[in-house]
Every structure is written in structure tokens, then in C-alpha cells.
């Protein structure tokens, strides 16, 4: 029996066989009946998150890689302190290296105001350089175990605008309501236990009703160096393997390694329309140089590559056949695959997929297409830098 092309891809992603393989390979947790809202800009994401923090009744759990001591960080701190003052239990995990520029007084103020703060991977150097290389790159907040905010945004002014300049980055995030939020809370408590060495705080079990309209199936994929293999990379590769029509990808750092490149090339060979959107200007130029070597083989196989201009692109998104959407904290680089603690969600929803695809199209209008001639015309100095990056690609 044959299906029209769009229907076939939708049926395939929802087939028991594919979902069973995906969950087995990535250790993903599947939940039904979630409501998901997309925020296309940090200027929409942060006000919504702050409103939810102000409405918390029982507890708040947060994990963020970077928290800056700027205007956005001040509003964030005020919201947490206000919640703690109301009697809400507030727990914050922040990455020690990510917040190295944030003064200790910022976290002391939170601690003194009733917020329980836990730095991730704090010194001394018990494991030598391995300490420096182990980072918590996650970015999410869970309110009362029933609502959650997640995406690529850290707490800082550059993430909190509308992506119209190099000081206001283009990023995105989502609001989740439903059982997927409870899974994020479970992972938070697991992190707290492993890092603090003590039993996690006792939190009440979520007691929905969860949203019944606009329901979406959501899988949560957690990755980190404590796993024997990269569940994050496997989730990307399986999604590409299941693509029938299109794969739209946004990533700020593209150092994918040979396995993911192979998945991209195989998708293109099957006739999948693959589009890759990267930043024209990066906050990590070394990663941009290191990733350039992967672009020519993709262009030669018909994969379209674009560079977003006018801002620093920091969003992380993959849309397969406009119905299977992956987003979260993970980049398409070796650090996210093997060295960082990351969190992604996979959303199976035609409605959400269409909304995300519309956002992707809007970003393409602000981008220029990369050509093979452009790549091959690089100066000898640029090519030398690419060569020098060869030994360090797996650390980026």
C-alpha cells in the first residue's frame, strides 16, 4: 500500500517500529498530551518565563550554563528572590565555568534570599584538565513540575532581545506544559544528587490537569559524558535517517564529525531537501574556522548552506518533514556530543512543525546562500587556519 508523500513521512515517524528504535538508541523518555509554545526571539521568551516564575506556587528548578550580572540577570535574580520570599522552594544549578565572569556576590545574594544554589563542577582540580572539560550546557526552568521553559538561551542581555544586531542575538525557546515538564524535573533532581553528593530535595509530585487541547507527543533526550555513547548525536542521526522530504537545520556551531556528515549525505542522496543555516558572525570564531572543512562535501552533494547576517545566530533547531522538531541546548559539534551535559526535546506535531518551519523561512530571508566557489576561493591564510584546527576539532 502506498501513501501520498506527506502522509507517508508522518506515518513513518509515528510508527511503533521507528519510535521503539529511537527510544532504545537514545534512551529518550516519551510523554503524550503536552502543550508546546514556540518563542521565536528571546524578547518574547524571557518575559513569558519571568511571568511563570512569578506564578509559581510550590517549587522552581533551574539549570543554566551562563547567568550574567546584567539587566537580564538582575530581573532573573529578582524573580527568584520574590518567589523564595513567597515561600516557593527555589533550586538553581549553574555551570561554574560558564559563570566564571559572574561575581560571587550575585549568587551570595540569591543564597541569602532563600534560593538554593549549586555550582556545577566547582574546583579544586580533582581530575586535572578533565575538570575544565566537563560542563553543564543545559538551559531550562521547571515551575511546579508542570510547566517548563527550554531552549538555547542563557541568562544575559545578548539573549533577551529580538536578534537585530550583534549585541542582541537571534535565539529561540519553548514553553512546555504537560508530563514532559515532570521528566525535566526528574533529570534536574538527578543532576542535583550527582553533583551535590546528597539526596535531592523532596519535591511534591506534579498533579495536573495537563493541557488537553493542542496536544503533542514529546521525547526528552539527555546527553552527557557519563553516558557510554552520545545519545544526542544518535537522536540527530536517527531523525535524518527517517527524513522523507526535508531537513531544516539551524546551529550556531557546526563541527559535526564524520558520522553526522555521513547521515546528512545519505539523506541528500535519498532526495531529501537538506538546508543548513549557520551564523555569518560567530561568538566563537575558532569553531567557525574548524567547521568550514565540513561544508564543501555537503555543497557538492546538493545540500544548501546559508549564513544568517545582521546578528549572532545562537538557535539550535532541526525540523524533519515539517512534523518532527528537535530543539534544546545541543549544538551540532563534538563538544555537545561527548563533553557537555545537554538536554533536547523532540516534538511530534504537525502544527508545531509548521510554526517552526515558518520561523526557519523568515531566517532564510535574512541570510545569504553559501557557494562552493566562495569556499574554494579562501585565502592561503584561511586554509592554514583550517589545517591547524584539525587536531582540536573533537574538543570544539
| Secondary-structure class of domain 5-395 per CATH | alpha beta
**Structure confidence by residue, pLDDT tens digits, 382-393:** 666 666 556 555
Whole-number Å distance between alpha carbons of 47 and 57: 18
- Rounded distance, CA 311 to CA 96, Å? 27
Alpha carbons within 13 A on the beta-carbon side of 150: 32
Q: Inter-axis angle of helices 71-85 and 42-54, to 10 degrees?
A: 20
Per-residue confidence (pLDDT) for residue 129, from 0 to 100: 59
Cell of 19: 519510535
Task: Give the model confidence (pLDDT) of 66-99 as tens digits.
Answer: 999 999 999 999 999 999 999 999 999 999 999 9
Q: How confident is the model at residue 178 (pLDDT cuts 50, 70, 90)?
A: very high
Provide CB contacts within 8 A for 317, sequence distance 6+.
172, 248, 249, 250, 251, 325, 326, 327, 356, 360
Q: d(Cα 379, Cα 98) in Å, to the nearest integer?
A: 34
With a cut of 50, say whether residue 105 has pLDDT above it.
yes
Given this model, what pLDDT does residue 18 score?
85
Q: What is the mean pLDDT of the chain?
A: 89
Alpha-carbon distance of 76 to 155, in angstroms, equals 8
| 238-280 confidence digits (pLDDT tens) | 999 999 999 999 999 999 999 999 999 999 999 999 999 999 9
Question: What is this structure's pTM?
Answer: 0.91
Amino acid at each position: 500500500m502506498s501513501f501520498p508523500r506527506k502522509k507517508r513521512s508522518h506515518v513513518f515517524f509515528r510508527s511503533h517500529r521507528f519510535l521503539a528504535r529511537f527510544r532504545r538508541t537514545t534512551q529518550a523518555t516519551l510523554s503524550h498530551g503536552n502543550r508546546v509554545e514556540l518563542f521565536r526571539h528571546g524578547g518574547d521568551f524571557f518575559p513569558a518565563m519571568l511571568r511563570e516564575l512569578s506564578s509559581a506556587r510550590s517549587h522552581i528548578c533551574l539549570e543554566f550554563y551562563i547567568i550574567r550580572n546584567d539587566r537580564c540577570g538582575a530581573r532573573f535574580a529578582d524573580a527568584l528572590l520574590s518567589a523564595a520570599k513567597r515561600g516557593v522552594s527555589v533550586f538553581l544549578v549553574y555551570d561554574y565555568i560558564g559563570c566564571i565572569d559572574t561575581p560571587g556576590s550575585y549568587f551570595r545574594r540569591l543564597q541569602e534570599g532563600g534560593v538554593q544554589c549549586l555550582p556545577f563542577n566547582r574546583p579544586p582540580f580533582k581530575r586535572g584538565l578533565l575538570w575544565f572539560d566537563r560542563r553543564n550546557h543545559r538551559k531550562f526552568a521547571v515551575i511546579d513540575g508542570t510547566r517548563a521553559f527550554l531552549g538555547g538561551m542563557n541568562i544575559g542581555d545578548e539573549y533577551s532581545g529580538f536578534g537585530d544586531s550583534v549585541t542582541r542575538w537571534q535565539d529561540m525557546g519553548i514553553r512546555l506544559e504537560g508530563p514532559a515538564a515532570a521528566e525535566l524535573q526528574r533529570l534536574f533532581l538527578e543532576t542535583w544528587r550527582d553533583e551535590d553528593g546528597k539526596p535531592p530535595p523532596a519535591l511534591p509530585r506534579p498533579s495536573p490537569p495537563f493541557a488537553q487541547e493542542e496536544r503533542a507527543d514529546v521525547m526528552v533526550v539527555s546527553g552527557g559524558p557519563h553516558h557510554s555513547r552520545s545519545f544526542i548525536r544518535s537522536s540527530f542521526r536517527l531523525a535524518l535517517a527517517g527524513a522523507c522530504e526535508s531537513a531544516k537545520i539551524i546551529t550556531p556551531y557546526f563541527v559535526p564529525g564524520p558520522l553526522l556528515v555521513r547521515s546528512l549525505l545519505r539523506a541528500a542522496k535519498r532526495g531529501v531537501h537538506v538546508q543548513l543555516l549557520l551564523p555569518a558572525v560567530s561568538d566563537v570564531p575558532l569553531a567557525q574556522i574548524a567547521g568550514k572543512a565540513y561544508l564543501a562535501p555537503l555543497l557538492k552533494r546538493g545540500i544548501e548552506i546559508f549564513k544568517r547576517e545582521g546578528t549572532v545566530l545562537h538557535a539550535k533547531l532541526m525540523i524533519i518533514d515539517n512534523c518532527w522538531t528537535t530543539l534544546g541546548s545541543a549544538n551540532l559539534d563534538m563538544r555537545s556530543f561527548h563533553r557537555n551535559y545537554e538536554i533536547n526535546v523532540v516534538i511530534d506535531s504537525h502544527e508545531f512543525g509548521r510554526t517552526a518551519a515558518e520561523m526557519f523561512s523568515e531566517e532564510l530571508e535574512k541570510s545569504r546562500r553559501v557557494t562552493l566557489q566562495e569556499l574554494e576561493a579562501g585565502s592561503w591564510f584561511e586554509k592554514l587556519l583550517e589545517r591547524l584546527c584539525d587536531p582540536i576539532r573533537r574538543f570544539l
